[in-house]
Structures are given as structure tokens and as C-alpha cells.
């Protein structure tokens, strides 16, 4: 079981390490493109977005970044879990937290996107009720866009 808490500035290096471990395996699939989370500014994400950390025995093992799009939609900007902790329900816990936070903020929908090659993520999103809304190019990537109505 993981503990979920709001991230603070001191968590930025841990979030970067988690992103590196979680997203680096996709580099070969993506034909040389770098997933955005590998180069994200996690200090800025913590300062500017609603950012959460999942910890096991006090050690950060996952995170969630939520962004407001100015409407009744909450954007799930980034979610990642250390590969060594996959299959333990941590990703699902973070996604359920996103839904709870969206509801608390009065949002009626959550949107997210993932790279077309990240099929494991797509399967999880679809299992928990996200619906694919479109596929297409965006900022040089081929992405799959999802939405969940709450």
C-alpha cells in the first residue's frame, strides 16, 4: 500500500528519477523521440500544478501531476510509477486520486494523452473507464487522447 501526499519542492529530484526509470524503456519504441516527462521541470510542476507523490515506506515510487485547463476539465498531465513497483496498484491509486481531486474541484471530466507506443498505459486507462477520443500528431508525437466523464 502506498502513501499519497502533496509534493513539495524537495521532491523534484525524486520525481525526475521516477520519470527517468518509468519513461526510459520507451525510448527504443519511440524511434529516438524523448517522452516529455524525461525532460520536464519538476520543480515548476510542483510550484505550478497540483502534484502528488506516492511513497512506500517513506520512499517516493510514483507521482501524479494535475493541471487545470480553465474549464470543467482536469488534465492529467503526467503519472508515473517506478518499474520496480509496477503491479502493486500504485498507478491505479494515483489515477483514483486524480478522479477524486477532479470531483473536489468541480470538474466533470478528466483528459489525458499518451504516446501511441505506450500500449501498457492505454490498456490500464481503458480498463478503468477512460475512452479514447482521438489519435493524431501533436507537438511532433503521435498521441492517443483519452477522456473520462466523472
Query: Over the stretch 16-38, which tens digit does the pLDDT of each residue have?
Result: 999 999 999 988 888 878 988 99
The answer on pLDDT for 141 being more than 90 is no
Q: Is it the case that residue 144 has pLDDT exceeding 90?
A: yes
pLDDT tops 80 at residue 93:
yes
First-to-last CA distance in the chain? 25
Q: pLDDT tens digit string along 37-75?
A: 999 999 999 999 999 999 999 999 999 999 987 788 999
Alpha-carbon distance values, 4 to 55, 64, 109, 145, 147 (Å): 6, 10, 22, 26, 23
In angstroms, the CA 23 to CA 98 distance is 20
- What's the pLDDT score for residue 32? 79
Q: What is the dihedral of CA 43, 149, 126, 141, to 10 degrees?
A: -50
Query: Which domains are delineated in the chain?
Result: 3-112 (3.40.630.30)
Amino acid at each position: 500500500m502506498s502513501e499519497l501526499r502533496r509534493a513539495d519542492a524537495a521532491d523534484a529530484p525524486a520525481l525526475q528519477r521516477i520519470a527517468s526509470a518509468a519513461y526510459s524503456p520507451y525510448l527504443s519504441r519511440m524511434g529516438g523521440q524523448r517522452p516529455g516527462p524525461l525532460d520536464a521541470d519538476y520543480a515548476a510542476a510542483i510550484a505550478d500544478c497540483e502534484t502528488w507523490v506516492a511513497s512506500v515506506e517513506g520512499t517516493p515510487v510514483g507521482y501524479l501531476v494535475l493541471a487545470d485547463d480553465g474549464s470543467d476539465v482536469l488534465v492529467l498531465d503526467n503519472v508515473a510509477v517506478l518499474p520496480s513497483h509496477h503491479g502493486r496498484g500504485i498507478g491505479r491509486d494515483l489515477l483514483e486520486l486524480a478522479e477524486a481531486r477532479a470531483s473536489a474541484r468541480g470538474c466533470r471530466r478528466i483528459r489525458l494523452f499518451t504516446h501511441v507506443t505506450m500500449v501498457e498505459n492505454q490498456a490500464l486507462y481503458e480498463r478503468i473507464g477512460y475512452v479514447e477520443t482521438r489519435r493524431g500528431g501533436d507537438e511532433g508525437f503521435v498521441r492517443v487522447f483519452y477522456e473520462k466523464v466523472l
